[in-house]
Structure 1
Amino acid sequence: MQDTNEIPRILIVEDDADINRLLCRILKKSGYCPEQAFSGTEARLLLGTGSYDLIILDLMLPGMTGEELLDNIRKEQNLSMPVLILSAKGSLEDRVGLLLEGADDYLTKPFEPEEVAARVCALLRRCGRTRQDGAAGKETQAYTVRNLTVYPEARQVMVKGREIPLTGHEFDILLLLIRNPDKVYSRENLYEQVWKGGYYGEDNTVNVHVSNIRKKLAKADPDEEYIQTVWGIGFKLKHSRPQTCLLHKEAM
């Protein structure tokens, strides 16, 4: 049985009970040890009595706001663990301000459970804390084409060394394409494999998601095109050289 001391401890600071419970389920499913706080004041007390590897922090909290708690964490308690802001406030000013004040990442509500898990995984990896599997290390497969690398297990996408946030369905589409770079996927194929349901030919869902992936990749790498439209059929990965399949050793 795994020692719980080896499992990253994550403090969820969220006053909405339903969202707090959902985050707790997401983290437990991902192999982490979550603890719950429902106010900024409660979170401050917990931080004073225990250690955590990461904090998921809402902003609009009773007792002490998320902004005040972040300031307390960084300046008064001098704690350095990653802080992921999870808030309905989504303006550029809010995001930039919190990142400058000491937050490590910012995700707006509503959120995709898969993206929360991926962001947490990425933040823990950066600070050297990952889930322990009872071995010195493990092999993690990564698919690389030009400046794009996709990590299936971590559900992480990197372009030129920069992490690109994708929703769960966007990630699944890109993973299908990069795993089979010479295969053309029809919209029906993609819908059935990603959404696990029947495709009736009139839904524009696949087109919208592919368009969103293209925009996010183009923003990070404007000189490259990674998804090719095959007119009358669907989509495929656009690659000028054979796909590279790498194995990375991750220290645990």
Structure 2
Amino acid sequence: MNVLGRPSILIIEDDEHINNIIVDVLQKENFACTQAFSGSEGKMNVTHHVYELIILDLMLPGLSGEDFMYELRTKLQCDTPVIVLSAKEKLDNKLNLFNLGANDYVTKPFEVKELVARVNVHLKRHSKTEPPVEYRHKDLLLDTTTMNVSVHQAPLNLTRQEYKIIEVLVKNPNRVFTKQDLYELAWEDMYIGEDKTITVHISNIRNKIKVHTDESYIDTVWGIGFRLST
């Protein structure tokens, strides 16, 4: 999640001292950081939020780094760049992580300046990846070039925020978004508890879709937020 123009990075490292050092350095470089201290906590964060890069330790409680990588790329279908931190130096370990979908591998102990440099490289590289122009879900088609959304080939007259909400959901079909996620992504502003704003916009989107089909396109996940319907 890009928070007020600051790239958002998830740090999954159970060593509190190392985790805090990474956060301190990255925040000074104007990155927005989220800390997780177990693989399970990291998975929960990725399920509910969008990050532009993940820094991952391997020796984690709950869910190992290797298992986290596997679930990230398969079950969650998330292509967020991952930099692995590990004291494991053997080539086989590195190759295994790359096969699981890791983008980089930094051996502990590491220099923080090198880590920052690698973070910047992967953020720039990932931002240059051109996404598909069109996204389709069931009979809903979203065109990112024209910013048009249609259902059964009938165009929806959406406001800017309604379009952004649909865009976020369609581009991330396997994720649940909290109201805070959707507000910060659609309004590009800090969330201050505007629960009714998101609820009203979701209701408006559903009503506009309902004109053309009875099929549901946005599911409510009670107690958490919203996701694209399955």
Unaligned runs of 5+ in 2: 129-230
Distance 2:37 2:45 in 1: 11
Distance 1:114 1:74 in 2: 28
Question: Offset of 1:97 from its aligned partner?
Answer: 1.2
Aligned residue type for 2:42: A
- Aligned pair count reads 127
Distance 1:57 1:25 in 2: 16
Question: Offset of 1:128 from its aligned partner?
Answer: 1.0
Question: Offset of 1:4 from its aligned partner?
Answer: 3.1
User: What's the counterpart of residue 106 of structure 1?
Assistant: 105
User: What's the counterpart of residue 84 of structure 1?
Assistant: 83
Distance 1:77 1:4 in 2: 22
Deviation >2 Å, runs of 4+: none
Aligned residue type for 2:114: E
The answer as to 2:71 corresponding to 1:53 is no
> What does the per-residue CA deviation read over 1:139-192, in whole Å, with 9 as the maximum and x for residues that have no partner?
xxxxxxxxxxxxxxxxxxxxxxxxxxxxxxxxxxxxxxxxxxxxxxxxxxxxxx
RMSD: 1.2
- TM-score by length of structure 2 reads 0.54
Question: Offset of 1:6 from its aligned partner?
Answer: 1.6
Secondary structure at the counterpart of residue 63 of structure 2: coil
Question: Offset of 1:100 from its aligned partner?
Answer: 1.5
Aligned residue type for 1:105: D
Distance 2:87 2:118 in 1: 17
Secondary structure at the counterpart of residue 41 of structure 1: helix
The answer as to 2:43 corresponding to 1:44 is yes
Distance 1:91 1:23 in 2: 24
- TM-score by length of structure 1 reads 0.49
User: What's the counterpart of residue 73 of structure 1?
Assistant: 72
Secondary structure at the counterpart of residue 85 of structure 1: strand
User: What's the counterpart of residue 4 of structure 2?
Assistant: 5
> What does the per-residue CA deviation read over 1:101-153, in whole Å, with 9 as the maximum and x for residues that have no partner?
10000000000010000000000010117xxxxxxxxxxxxxxxxxxxxxxxx
Alignment of 1:48-197 (within 5 A): 48-128=47-127
Identity of aligned residues (%): 43
Secondary structure at the counterpart of residue 127 of structure 1: helix
Question: Offset of 1:5 from its aligned partner?
Answer: 3.1
Secondary structure at the counterpart of residue 74 of structure 2: helix
Unaligned runs of 5+ in 1: 130-252
Distance 2:45 2:4 in 1: 17
